[in-house]
Amino acid sequence: MSAAALAALIRERQPCVVLTGAGVSTESGIPDFRSATGIWADIDPFEVASLPAFRRDPERVWRFYRERLDVLRDANPNAAHVALAELEERGLVQAVVTQNIDLLHTRAGSQDVVEVHGSIRSAQCPGCLWTEQADAVLAQLEARPTPTCPRCGEVLKPGVVLFGELLPAAAMERATQLARGARLVLVVGSSLEVWPVAGLPLEARAFAIVNRGPTALDEHALLKIDAGAGETLSAVLDAL
Ligand SMILES: [Zn+2]
């Protein structure tokens, strides 16, 4: 019933832009951050994933990040990623703005993906802005604890946004424009706790939410479905 209601909203309120968070990838075996079983339940993000930590102890940050890379590169897109790619293919989703760094939307076939927290695709040199692709970074990590810039020798920074770091300006600008132009922002698998991305639905004329558990904006949503992303989006596709 609620999937049918969401399908009707998507059909009626074009353009529709999707905003995804960790909950869209948990069904791919990728742990989220903030739930009771999430990554930050055991580890302090400011020790392993913040800009000050990277400056103080890049080896520790890379140790943590390399473990994540191994998990993320072994994961595969799930029914939710596939359904969102199919919705774009049918012209019912304009773009996917994602907080996820795992590349699973792209691997599922989504064409227009805006990565507002960066991605595991590459690492960057803070000195000369060289971009090193993930395969080359992993090859370096086989030989030493931190990868370095082949051009200037500085320690590379993971291509994901660290705590204390600004979001990539071009991606955030594009995400904001997409939200402002949308007649529906569909939030999937995000508890909308991490700003400024959590504010994007408020830029749109209306939004709907698919998420297990409450979000910060439930009472303002046109529709809230408290269920898993894969099952819900598959049902929405069937209803369209
Ligand atoms: Zn460099």
Q: From ligand 1's centre to the CA of 125, what distance in Å?
A: 5
With 0-12 CB in 10 A as exposed, 13-18 as middle and 19+ as buried, what is 153? exposed
- What average pLDDT does this structure show over 125-136? 96
User: Cα angle at 195 between 9 and 147, to 5 degrees?
Assistant: 115
List the strands of the sheet with 157-160, edge to edge: 131-133, 118-124, 157-160
Q: From ligand 1's centre to the CA of 145, what distance in Å?
A: 17
pTM, rounded to two decimals: 0.95
Tell me: the pLDDT tens digits for 163-194? 999 999 999 999 999 999 999 999 999 999 88
Q: From ligand 1's centre to the CA of 172, what distance in Å?
A: 25
Give me the residue label for tokens 């990277």.
Answer: 54
Q: How far apart are CA 170 and CA 167, in angstroms?
A: 9
Q: How far apart are CA 69 and CA 138, in angstroms?
A: 9
Residue 208 has pLDDT above 70, yes or no: yes
- What average pLDDT does this structure show over 136-150? 96
Instruction: Pick 114 or 37 by higher pLDDT.
Output: 114
Contact 61, 53 (CB under 8 A): yes
Active site residues: 117
Provide the pLDDT for residue 1.
64
Sign of CA dihedral 141, 44, 170, 67: positive
Provide the pLDDT for residue 32.
84
Residue 215 has pLDDT above 90, yes or no: yes
Provide the pLDDT for residue 180.
98
Q: From ligand 1's centre to the CA of 199, what distance in Å?
A: 34
DSSP conformation class of 163: B
Q: From ligand 1's centre to the CA of 129, what distance in Å?
A: 6
Contact 156, 146 (CB under 8 A): yes
Question: Which tokens hold the place of 213?
Answer: 């558990």
